[in-house]
Amino acid sequence: MKISVLAGGKSREREISLRSGKKVYESLKKQGFNVIQVDPDADLISKLKKNKIEVVFNALHGRFGEDGCVQGLLEMAGIPYTGSGVLASALGMNKVAAKRIFQARGIPTPNFFEITDTSNIEKEAQRISRVFPYPLVVKPVSEGSSLGVSVVKEGDNLAGILKAAVDEYKDVFVEEYIKGREVTVGILDEEALPILELKPKAEFYDYKAKYTSGGTEFILPARLSKPLYKRTQEVALAAHRSLFCRGYSRVDIIVGEDHISYVHEINTLPGLTDTSDLPAEAAQAGISFDELILRILQSAFTK
């Protein structure tokens, strides 16, 4: 069976995707598979059909690769692919849509405020200041890897930060700041993996902390009491299921000082680089990187 690893693309996470794709390609090659790596463009389906690809391992991150666009193309072409389908991918990429579903399903998530009037940022900033205490968090609606995330403290120019975010990312929202432990929970074959606690050297687990060696201390398993540990895994699995995710995902959570596990977001195509969270969690569960890649590959045929 001929496999294509999709990596690269045109999102802001292109370089991370190329790193993930390289690791996946090397693993599949080592395991004896007939595999090629493809950097997708408008002629993606033609390239796949020309190379007689029978299954796609999707190692794309960010817009166009993780948001349902590529998934829709592959569905129409009848080519099996790893990871979640069109709906789950679109919901997972849109943080506001995901948070609405979490709220409807009773899954804890930080309160948020949508920026709806981009023509009057000063007015929006005043409204936010009346609703949220400082610090608060400004985020793009549809970006991954903590791109564009800002922690805004009292005395900072909130209107200026909002305007810069809107100019750069167009759709942004403001989220309540939850003080607590940053953890992440991988989901594989509908089961929660060991919880990874993240202790970044920066103010929070930003892009640099995620992908720079030594930028974050990884604590496995997370330092949570047994009941809270179990509850956090249950919350992660509930979030995964609420968006109709399939195969695998990674759920980012803040365990607050009130001992509530607040879901920040779901990554439907989590990173598979040397410093990525999901492989570390799998290793803690006794799953080697090669086995992880094989199980993700098998998920393309168990939908």
Q: Is 250 a catalytic residue?
A: yes
- Distance, CA of 232 to CA of 223 (rounded, Å): 12
Which one is catalytic: 211, 229, 248, 262?
211
Q: Is 145 a catalytic residue?
A: yes
First to last CA, the chain: 18
Q: Is 72 a catalytic residue?
A: no
Which one is catalytic: 11, 267, 276, 299?
267
Which one is catalytic: 13, 66, 124, 277?
13
Which one is catalytic: 20, 58, 84, 145?
145
Q: Is 105 a catalytic residue?
A: no
**Encoded tokens for 2:** 């001929």
Q: Is 261 a catalytic residue?
A: no
Could you write out the DSSP letters of every residue in the chain? -EEEEE---SSTTHHHHHHHHHHHHHHHHHTT-EEEEE---TTHHHHHHHTT--EEEE---STTTSSSHHHHHHHHHT--BSS--HHHHHHHH-HHHHHHHHHHTT-----EEE---TT-HHHHHHHHHHH-PSSEEEEETT--TTTT-EEE-TTS-HHHHHHHHHHHHS-EEEEE---EEEEEEEEETTEEEEEEEEEESSSSS-HHHHHSTTSEEEESS-S--HHHHHHHHHHHHHHHHHTT--SEEEEEEEEETTS-EEEEEEESS---STT-HHHHHHHHTT--HHHHHHHHHHGGG--
Which one is catalytic: 265, 277, 281, 299?
265
Torsion angles phi and psi, residue 106, rounded to 5: 75, 25
Q: Is 252 a catalytic residue?
A: yes
Which one is catalytic: 4, 271, 276, 281?
271
Which one is catalytic: 67, 124, 252, 281?
252
User: Does 40 sit behind a cis peptide bond, omega within 30 degrees of 0 on the bond before it?
Assistant: no
Q: Is 111 a catalytic residue?
A: no
Which one is catalytic: 250, 262, 277, 299?
250
Q: Is 75 a catalytic residue?
A: no
Active-site amino acid positions? 13, 145, 211, 250, 252, 265, 267, 271
